[in-house]
Structure 1
Amino acid sequence: MTDYDGSDGETMTIIGTRTASNAAELLTKRHLGDASNVVLRHSAAEIEAIESDAAFSPLSCRIHQMFPSLSAREVSRMRPFGTETRWKAGEMLFSMGFPSPGLIVILAGLVRVSRRDAIGKVHRVVEQHAGHFLGEIAQLYGHPALGDGLAVEDTEGIVISSANLRNLLVTEAELGEKIMRSLILRRVGLIENGSGPVLVGDTTDARMVSLQGLLQRNAYPHTVIDARNDPETVELLERISASKADFPIVICLDGTILRSPDENLVAAHLGWLPEFDPSHTYDVAIVGAGPAGLASAVYAASEGLAVVIFDSRGPGGQASASARIENYLGFPTGISGQALTGRAFVQAQKFGVDLCIPTQIKALRCDRTPIEVQLADGKTVSAHTVVIASGAAYRKPEIEGLERYIGRGVFFGTSPVEAKLCKGLEVVIVGGGNSAGQGVVYLASHANHVHLLVRARGLESTMSRYLIDRIARLPNVTLHTSTEITSLDGDDGGLSKVNCKAPNGSFSFDIRHLFLFTGAVPNTEWLKGCNVTTDEKGFVLTGSRAHQRQDEGDKTLETSVPGVFAIGDVRSGSTKRVAAAVGEGAAVVGQIHEVLLERQQLTLDKQSAELQTIG
């Protein structure tokens, strides 16, 4: 998410590794190089010198925002939120891989922040003195520190815990904006520098693409090494593992080497997944972190409700695959789906939403009070209300050979990961909606030529006019109407041929990348154990349609199960637009309050009746 403007965004992480095998050190040294140690100071002269010497980057002009100075008044406003602490020279304020105490405001002394890359080389990130703060957005939840903080001299500071930091960001709006912007820019800088875990393997392998997608969707810095085109790398990798089945390999922050891990294992090892208190009951549990789910999480948490949100992949849903949304209100130059939903994700963190990503939901037990959300790992989370915002997936068309090449040349949606694979090549896109149109515009700037296939006679009835006009002006895009794919062929490398039929006869494309934007299938399989009513296509019914009555008092977003709501693309009859999903996410919060108040009143009435009986 490097296109953030710094007003919102993702977390800063200062990361590296403590140890690694000799092979891993040699491998990463060759690819990552030996970057010089640079100490960033904060005087006007030093900032000017850094900016004038740096290669052009949006960040090169924003060092003062990345590492801002706090005024005496701002430090005074932060004091009530923390506890004063002292460290001796040589003592660690925080250490990589261990829980961080929170945000630290330096009152006196000098602290050196450093990160270690995958070969164990230490890089000094910054030296902070009185009037500066240390921290990252991960500290909003007490996650392990992703860098080392060393007291260069005797140091005094204010330690602000995770809970108090969230409170500070909300109650001190102006100061909170300054802190948040700083944390965002630090994260962007680390993403641009390729910090973080190292992924090694065949970049066209489905498992490798999956892991890259995981880290990218969650705006986590990482480095990718393609072992295919580097015999020397392959030779070095054989010292780590002799089995091809072990790839891709992930060299983690603490030096651990994960062999062919799945997304959940990587997420767990990076400390993303929270621990649940089995005795705690949330006010609302949200399943799905797309625009609708994130909107409901932000609004509910900002109004004081205890919120938890789950998603099996990452924040953003299908919207995160949109290269540029140009008709979303308030963004005249457009905004990528990943940037838009990434900002919402940070807002959710700011307001204290518990984030469980990636986490697979196994079932919803609606026959219990409170409602139980059963996770795939066997854990159970309780909530008074549940919001179904699990969205929809692109439909898998009935094409011979399709399953064989999913992830091996066939993709649903586009992202920078897939775009890199298409550099200078010919690709095929299938679909006539706005998502397909945005995919065409995006890939046209990477691929040599883009073929857009639609079964209809044109795009006018399914795609926005501005996208149709833009596609028509792209010289490397060909529209094939009344065309459909009949079968796919491939080789050991994956997809190699797309066979089609059209009114004029059959033809083929010798291509290795096919992108499908074909219809929508609701993500509702996990609801089978609950009595939530769906329509004939599996989308969730709400309001009067769910209750089969026309009462004006019906909660329009409530399902057939009291206290369970549905919003966004998963809801039957919803408008499949990002703005509409966000609107439903905001609207459902009011209906959640109604349910919570009704249940609170029932409890009070019951208690009153019991007291009268005793009396």
Structure 2
Amino acid sequence: MTGAGGGTRPVGGPLAETPDRRGAYPRLTPEQLDVLAGYGERRQVGQGAVLFREGAPCEELYAVLGGLVEVVHDFDGPQERTVAVHGPGRFLGELGLLEGRAAFDTAVVREPGEVLAVPVARQRSLVARDPVIGDLVLRAHLARRSLLIGLGAGFRIFGSSYSPETGRLREFAVRNRLPHRWIDLEEDQEFEALLRRFSIGPDETPLVIWKGRDVLRNPSPADLARLIGLPAPAPGAARRDLLVVGAGPAGLASAVYGASDGLDTLIVDAVSTGGQAAASSRIEDYLGFPSGIPGGELVERAASQARVSGARITVPLEAEALERREQHYAVRFTDGSTIEALSVVLAPGVRYRRLDAPGIEHFEGSSVFYTATLHEARRCHLDPVAVVGGGDAAGQAALLLAEYAPEVCLIVRGGSLGKGMSRYLVDRVERHPKILVLLHHEVHEALGDDVLRSVAVRDGTADRVREVPAGALFVLVGSHPHTDWLAGALPLDQRGFVLTGTDAQAGADPDTWAALGRAPMLLETALPGVFAAGDARSGSVKRVASAAGEGAMAVRLLHEHRARLGTLVSSPGAGGGADPGYGDPPRGTGPREAAVRGAGAG
């Protein structure tokens, strides 16, 4: 059996508690255990008892009061591995616990003793009320998720590195930080045995195997999400107070503030939580993090905060239409479902621009990428790579890839890095010994056979084409707003960004706003009660901090809209037809919520 620290121990051999690693396995003090006891119940547990099982919903947090508990991946399977061993004072579980998701491993009692069991709902309350214990638990959960990803725990994806379908599944898993292991059918001997074991044909790949027995043949990301128990909207669910479309920094901020104000809040995204911020190797200009913070960690913290606040997060769910229905709204999704809400915050973010050059499409998903995360970087340790772009995203990608690849060629169309890149990134890129910067250059063609071998680049100053060796090409040349589905529902600017405030008024229905006795507020679209925040909003500042600020501000303006509409509905002679729910105050009872209500009522 493989040990958590990379060693082994004989099955049935002596167990030793796993040392703490990066805050993943902290020990609670007696005082903290006393606090925790107020939220759960003590239970005696015998040797061999299973506290939670891989693939089953994880419904309780367990703190060990006595005995030893072993956390195991592939329990009783051919590849059983010890993830960690916990003794008295330690607690079990990882990030999915906050939503009652399926566990990625199994907890088995190895020495009888006593545990303290805290239900998921009470754990959320604990995290919200006790900042010290809450932060300790959250930090541990985040660190454990990273360790599980590093161990290759969770489900397995079998597929070719040249397959776009495999690429989509892997991107979904990586972007959602789901523990998994990818087995390349071009290189791994295990695949042939798998085909025979499950009677699978070569045309049925890629495959996803979960718990060693559940098999999905050529699944979509939505199929994978259902298999592992990611939350999905309940059929026929009641109308929401707030629907947030897009789970990047702007959308997550709206969900946090909306839910903490007592609004029934649902946030959806077509791919994952985090948006482009999650793909950033390091965000270095976010307030409060002087040395920077990995984008994935920042958005995972934000997503956890939204869940603790009471918001529900559903991925993947892609919006395709927005409709107004009386005094509320409906968003229709590509899977055929519809969700109604009294108010909507649009934070769909932007999508990466693709490169229009011969050969690019052939290598997309296998050698050409539109984001650079650790997932891609770790595959680039043998061959030089090329990065296209002159902005911050390209600079960050070049620096990340230079930690793994033998050489990075940064291809920039302009004549200066400083034109589109932050000064701190320019200095680091220009000083890095493994990064070669080609100014005044464009990609002319992607060259190779089954994989990318080199990139032909054109020198704009000499009108000359030459080849640059590259086993992978990272294209970071900007983005466009993900707003095609909003065309016709509300006004967009010439580039497709959502118009808000006074800019939206020209395309708005004058009778609608005359009846309200006001014009669209700062972040409000041409539809009353529909707000836009983040990168997809026309005129927004394309920064993570700005997006989060707009998301929070949108909820503040939403309250003001509801308060004014409530006054209008209840006033003598007011026209009927408004949904009474708009006049209801937020259900939150904390001091911040009271302050928001007071401000909105004014």
**Could you tell me how far 1:524 is from its partner in structure 2?**
0.5
Of 542, 551, 559, the match for 1:593: 559
**Aligned positions of 1:565-580 closer than 5 A:** 565-580=531-546
- With normalisation by structure 1, the TM-score equals 0.81
Deviations 1:407-458 (A, max 9, x none): 2322112112222332232222221111111112222222232222222222
State whether structure 2 residue 218 is matched by structure 1 residue 260: yes
Of 489, 498, 522, the match for 1:556: 522
Q: Which residue of 2 aligns with 1:511?
A: 470
Distance 2:380 2:397 in 1: 12
Distance 2:224 2:295 in 1: 24
Deviations 1:430-488 (A, max 9, x none): 21111111112222222232222222222222111122222211233232222223343
Distance 1:210 1:279 in 2: 29
Distance 2:10 2:411 in 1: 50
SS of equivalent residue, structure 1 residue 568: coil
State whether structure 2 residue 135 is matched by structure 1 residue 177: yes
Percent sequence identity over aligned pairs: 35
Count of residues paired in the alignment: 563
User: Which structure would you say has the larger RCO, counting Cα contacts within 8 Å and 6 or more residues apart?
Assistant: 1
Question: 1:386 and 1:503, CA in 2 relative to 1: closer, same or farther beyond 3 A?
Answer: same
Distance 1:413 1:81 in 2: 42
Structure 2 contact 442–458 (Cα < 8 Å) conserved: yes
**Aligned positions of 1:308-457 closer than 5 A:** 308-457=266-415
Distance 1:181 1:357 in 2: 23
Q: Which residue of 1 aligns with 2:588?
A: none
State whether structure 2 residue 196 is matched by structure 1 residue 239: yes
Q: Which residue of 1 aligns with 2:595?
A: none
Deviations 1:239-289 (A, max 9, x none): 256643333332212522223322222121111133425242222111111
Q: Which residue of 2 aligns with 1:291?
A: 249
Distance 2:48 2:411 in 1: 64
Structure 1 contact 388–564 (Cα < 8 Å) conserved: yes
Distance 2:466 2:205 in 1: 33
**Could you tell me how far 1:602 is from its partner in structure 2?**
4.5
**Could you tell me how far 1:336 is from its partner in structure 2?**
2.2
Question: 1:184 and 1:605, CA in 2 relative to 1: closer, same or farther beyond 3 A?
Answer: same
Q: Which residue of 1 aligns with 2:585?
A: none
Q: Which residue of 2 aligns with 1:209?
A: 167
Structure 2 contact 68–87 (Cα < 8 Å) conserved: yes
Of 17, 21, 27, the match for 1:68: 27
Distance 2:256 2:52 in 1: 30
**Amino acid of the structure 2 residue aligned with 1:260:** N
Structure 1 contact 399–488 (Cα < 8 Å) conserved: yes
Q: Which residue of 2 aligns with 1:190?
A: 148
Distance 1:39 1:432 in 2: 56
**Amino acid of the structure 2 residue aligned with 1:294:** L
**Could you tell me how far 1:388 is from its partner in structure 2?**
1.0
Structure 1 contact 429–514 (Cα < 8 Å) conserved: yes
Unaligned runs of 5+ in 1: 1-15, 17-27, 52-58, 611-615
Deviations 1:83-120 (A, max 9, x none): 56666776544433333432245667775544326944
Q: Which residue of 2 aligns with 1:136?
A: 94
Q: Which residue of 2 aligns with 1:528?
A: 487
Distance 2:62 2:351 in 1: 43
**Could you tell me how far 1:154 is from its partner in structure 2?**
7.6
SS of equivalent residue, structure 2 residue 354: coil
Distance 2:366 2:444 in 1: 18
Structure 1 contact 409–495 (Cα < 8 Å) conserved: no
Q: Which residue of 1 aligns with 2:582?
A: none
Q: Which residue of 1 aligns with 2:583?
A: none
**Could you tell me how far 1:170 is from its partner in structure 2?**
0.5
State whether structure 2 residue 250 is matched by structure 1 residue 250: no
Structure 1 contact 392–520 (Cα < 8 Å) conserved: yes
Distance 1:505 1:594 in 2: 58
Distance 2:159 2:205 in 1: 6
Unaligned runs of 5+ in 2: 577-602
Distance 1:608 1:91 in 2: 64
Structure 1 contact 405–495 (Cα < 8 Å) conserved: no
**Could you tell me how far 1:235 is from its partner in structure 2?**
4.0
Structure 1 contact 312–359 (Cα < 8 Å) conserved: yes
Question: 1:142 and 1:604, CA in 2 relative to 1: closer, same or farther beyond 3 A?
Answer: farther
What is the Cα-based RMSD across aligned positions, in Å? Answer: 3.5
**Aligned positions of 1:25-174 closer than 5 A:** 51=19, 59-60=20-21, 62=23, 66-71=25-30, 73-82=31-40, 92-105=50-63, 113-116=71-74, 119-123=77-81, 125=83, 133-150=91-108, 159-174=117-132
Structure 2 contact 388–477 (Cα < 8 Å) conserved: yes
Of 419, 429, 435, the match for 1:477: 435
Distance 1:127 1:501 in 2: 58
**Amino acid of the structure 1 residue aligned with 2:559:** H
Deviations 1:340-384 (A, max 9, x none): 222212222222221112222222223454311222222222221
Distance 1:360 1:40 in 2: 50
Of 535, 547, 550, the match for 1:581: 547
Question: 1:594 and 1:40, CA in 2 relative to 1: closer, same or farther beyond 3 A?
Answer: farther
Distance 2:342 2:29 in 1: 42
Distance 2:129 2:256 in 1: 16
Distance 1:214 1:332 in 2: 30
Structure 1 contact 38–124 (Cα < 8 Å) conserved: no
Distance 1:496 1:237 in 2: 34
**Amino acid of the structure 2 residue aligned with 1:517:** L
**Could you tell me how far 1:573 is from its partner in structure 2?**
0.8
